[in-house]
Amino acid sequence: MASLKELTDNIKNLVTKLYNHYIPPFTINKIGVSWDWMKSKIDSLPERKYYIPIDGYFYTCSLEDFKKIISWDWTNTKRYISEVFDCDDFAGYFKFRVSLNFGINAVAYILDYSSGHSYNIIFPIDSEPLILEPQTDQIFRISERNTKYYGLTSYFIII
């Protein structure tokens, strides 16, 4: 039978693990940007886009801070379940976790009908917009995308 001290130590260890899992162990430099700034970034994306802004003011961060967030976030570890938790769920989950945990809402949720896929586009303050594949944590330039999965010829942007 475990002593009270052992039980207390076990509980402390579990709480610490949970805390580190749910509370980011770092801070980021959040930068406010206007709708005009965001719209200029959206306008730089490939054509035939439709967008639905859900906020009027946005917060972003540096690409370095986005990389920290993506590395810490566990969206990519979720189990893919067809029609239950698939690409659109990964993209939504990442977008809203970043907003909830960091106050960063300059993450787009992309519904790409031209490729039948959903993913994110991040808008760092110091970079062009970049595609984020939330299932794998891959980040890449739009000009270097595989158009089979990231067509960007007929798509909705929810930002």
What is the CATH number for 126? 3.30.460.70
Q: Report the alpha-carbon distance of residue 121 to residue 108 in Å, rounded.
A: 5
> Taking the CB of residue 45, how many other CB atoms lie within 10 A of it?
18
> Is residue 25 assigned to a domain?
no
Predicted TM-score of the model (pTM): 0.87
Which pLDDT belongs to residue 80?
Answer: 85
Is 13 part of any domain?
no
pLDDT of 18? 72
> Which burial class, exposed, middle or buried, applies to 62 when counting CB atoms under 10 A from its CB (0-12, 13-18, 19+)?
middle
For the four alpha carbons of 105, 111, 114 and 117, in that order, the dihedral sign comes to positive
Q: Whole-angstrom Cα distance, residue 76 to residue 134?
A: 6
Q: Is the dihedral of CA 82, 80, 136, 61 positive or negative?
A: positive
Give the count of domains, the chain: 1
Answer for the pair 76, 135: CB distance below 8 angstroms, yes or no: yes
* 83: CB partners within 8 A, 6+ apart: none
Query: What local confidence, expressed as pLDDT, does residue 90 receive?
Result: 97
The answer to the question of residue 129 being in a domain is: yes
User: Quick one: which of 27, 26, 115, 120 has its CA closest to 76?
Assistant: 120
Residue 19 lies in a domain: no
Instruction: Name the CA radius of gyration of the chain, rounded.
Output: 18
119: containing domain: 30-158
**CA 126 from centroid of its chain's CA atoms:** 17
Would the CA dihedral through 128, 133, 138, 143 be positive or negative? Answer: negative
User: What does each of the 159 residues of the chain score in pLDDT, given as a tens digit?
Assistant: 778 888 888 888 887 777 766 788 899 999 999 999 999 999 999 987 899 999 999 999 999 999 999 999 989 898 988 988 899 999 999 999 999 999 999 999 999 999 999 999 999 999 999 999 999 999 999 999 999 999 999 999 999
